[in-house]
Structure 1
Amino acid sequence: MRPFYEQQFYNNRPKAKGGEDYLADFVNDFTSWHDACLREAATVMPGGDYMTACSALDRREFRRIVRAGVGGYLRKNGEWPDFFRPRSFGAMNILHSILMPLETGRIPADKLKAGSYIPAKYRNRCRPAEVFRQWGPGERLSFAGLPGGKYYLKSNHASAQVMKIQLPCDTATLEAAQAAVDGWLATDYGRHSSQWWYGFIERRAFLEEDLNSGTEEPLTDFRFHIINGRMSVLQMDVGLGTEDRHNPVYDSNLNYMPHDFLRKNLREEPLPQNTELARDIAVEIGRQFQYCRVDLYLRGDEVFLGELTFLPNAGRRHVRSPELDEMLCADWSPMPRFVRLEEVAARQAA
């Protein structure tokens, strides 16, 4: 991989010094660097089976997602993502989002397909939440015939599109749910970031079981960050919806680390007995990609797969601990890989 030599020019022009005025020039330089590195890429994959942003999008759309990813990072952090000497986990995620290959026809960020990535040997120990109904764009919601209780209404192609539903519900609740779903399915999620893969997901709304129902024991919310086939950090989400929300973090051996990650780390929290199993499942799922955040929930002896995420917080939230950021960057060894698809190679040779 060639170094991105132009980086120093932009590093001297952060947002506070009019950096956004150079965004178009950065995109020009980045795409030239991208094309040169792609021609030299050591990793080659079959183009009929895989796609990248470069292969799946036309040139204009490719430049747009580069601009959205880099520009969003610049505006949020006040500096350019450094692609010369990696200094930021967020910057590495931005670059990976632009380069990552995905199977054609199966997008792992699709919440309705995430379960297919659970390895066969773990399918008796891990499953996604049960889905009771699905709806496409323009379809009317109906909860008729479903047992009473708590459910979650979600979309499969976005983040934070979720609504809690208590059945049976009144007409006003049904109409509010319909309005929410119509808005979700009309949203081109990822358009304003470099999360280009969301545009290839067939949009659906679905009704999912509430994993908290029928148990007094709260779910344990784990987010495993898997880089190059190994667990880099376990981010535990504690106290969601409360003032005490925080993210204790643990290393690959499940040792507590007193560092702040994307949120404050207030204290060590006890890990449940199936944490090692959850880690092993997350690694098996995550090693199918160069980087993946694997979200798992624990409820007693049960392990549930939530979703697979490839650009948490659109790559814009910085790691609060410099020590932890340095450790995460080192796990990329040292940068995300360029992947050349065979059909792209043939087209360039012609």
Structure 2
Amino acid sequence: MPYPSHAIVQWTKDSAKQLLPDAVFLSLLHWKRIGRFPKLFRPTTYNEKILLRCLRPDPRYSALTDKLTARDYVRDKIGEKFLIPMISAPCNFTQTIFDMLPNSFVMKANHGSSFVEIVRDKSQCTFEHLQFLVSRWLSTNFYRNARERHYRGIQPRIFFENLLLDEHGAIPADYKVHCFANRPGRPVMFILVISDRFGSNTRGDTYDAQWNHLDLEFAPYLRSTRPAPPPNNLELLLDTAALLSEDFDYVRVDLYAPTDEVFFGELTFTPGAGVSPMRPDCVDFEWGRLLK
């Protein structure tokens, strides 16, 4: 049976995109999503400077973006207690590995974004389902998605962590702390809170370090109509982000803060690959002035 014409057209487009040089690919994607071509030689906006990082990454980025090797950095920097307990990081996923997993856990891959599978009850999950995800994740070349070059240095692996739950038995909010070290002392910090990330009412709200709810939306997240109360451990969360970011002029530190604890999620040096719309657009320029 011949392939439908629309499938052939899409395959042709996708193949053509892969042939584009990284700078051209990202410039076109920036224009498509942001609405203007990036100034690569004299970047001024936040997205332009992030895009340039994708093309010229710091040599440290690969090891610190790898969710497994980043644990060593966190352990040395702030201690083991800030790491989500690890269950297993097998070289191969087998039935035996599956059988040894506890009743609840989280399966992740180390080499990209959104490789997350939450299992609350293993009796409702099958080895074949997870094996399918593992095969798909490990065969994904995440660098090809948005040409973030430091991802090329990460060897794909899967791993299993304890499932974190808040006091209500829900998946805790994701605190993405943007840290700009453009002054002595604690960096300028903005906290993007992703709530109900795996539910039907996902929201993204941005706060400053004093927990003022900012008029800012990061695509694709919608802003809540009402601000959430600050976490009880806000100061510990900010102190943790500051310590993990102190070796860089900018990094986004992703943390979880269930109950009174703080746990490390990941370090992100090129959020949105420099093609993430910000509303209002003027914030793209304001944050650009904070980023060296």
> 1:182 corresponds to which residue?
135
Deviation at 1:274, TM superposition (A): 0.9
> Does structure 1 retain, via aligned residues, the 8 Å contact 2:67–2:266?
yes
Deviation at 1:97, TM superposition (A): 2.2
Q: Which amino acid aligns with 2:63?
A: I
Q: Relative to 1, partners in 2 of residues 1:73 and 1:210: Cα closer, same or farther, differing over 3 Å?
A: same
- Verify: 1:110 aligned to 2:66, yes or no: yes
> 2:6 corresponds to which residue?
none
> Does structure 1 retain, via aligned residues, the 8 Å contact 2:172–2:258?
yes
Deviation at 1:214, TM superposition (A): 8.1
Match runs of 1:1-350 below 5 Å: 64-83=21-40, 86=43, 88-103=45-60, 107-118=63-74, 120=76, 122-123=78-79, 126-136=81-91, 139-141=93-95, 142-147=97-102, 149-166=103-120, 168-169=122-123, 173-212=126-165, 216=169, 219-228=172-181, 230-262=187-219, 263-266=221-224, 267-333=226-292
SS at match of 2:144: coil
Q: Relative to 1, partners in 2 of residues 1:129 and 1:195: Cα closer, same or farther, differing over 3 Å?
A: same
SS at match of 2:118: strand
Deviations 1:218-255 (A, max 9, x none): 52321001123623411111232445432221223433
CA distance in 2, matches of 1:332, 1:303: 26
Deviation at 1:326, TM superposition (A): 2.9
Deviation at 1:217, TM superposition (A): 6.3
Deviation at 1:68, TM superposition (A): 3.1
SS at match of 2:64: coil
Q: Relative to 1, partners in 2 of residues 1:270 and 1:150: Cα closer, same or farther, differing over 3 Å?
A: same
SS at match of 1:107: helix
SS at match of 2:24: helix
Deviation at 1:297, TM superposition (A): 0.2
CA distance in 1, matches of 2:278, 2:122: 43
Q: Relative to 1, partners in 2 of residues 1:97 and 1:144: Cα closer, same or farther, differing over 3 Å?
A: same
* Number of equivalences: 268
CA distance in 2, matches of 1:239, 1:166: 16
> Does structure 2 retain, via aligned residues, the 8 Å contact 1:89–1:318?
no
Deviation at 1:322, TM superposition (A): 3.1
CA distance in 1, matches of 2:93, 2:50: 36
CA distance in 2, matches of 1:314, 1:101: 14
Deviation at 1:154, TM superposition (A): 1.2
CA distance in 2, matches of 1:264, 1:164: 23
CA distance in 1, matches of 2:227, 2:32: 33
Give the TM-score normalised by the residue count of structure 2. 0.80
CA distance in 2, matches of 1:120, 1:133: 20
Deviation at 1:206, TM superposition (A): 1.0
SS at match of 2:29: helix
Q: Relative to 1, partners in 2 of residues 1:314 and 1:77: Cα closer, same or farther, differing over 3 Å?
A: same
Moved more, 255-264 or 279-288: 255-264
SS at match of 1:248: strand
> Does structure 1 retain, via aligned residues, the 8 Å contact 2:93–2:131?
no
> 1:53 corresponds to which residue?
none
Q: Which amino acid aligns with 1:115?
A: R
Gaps of 5+ in 2: 1-18
SS at match of 1:295: strand
Deviations 1:69-126 (A, max 9, x none): 223222323421134664532222101222231239x6111111222232756326x5
Q: Greater CA radius of gyration, 1 or 2?
A: 1
Deviation at 1:189, TM superposition (A): 0.9
Give the TM-score normalised by the residue count of structure 1. 0.68
Deviation at 1:311, TM superposition (A): 2.0
SS at match of 2:49: helix
CA distance in 1, matches of 2:168, 2:145: 39
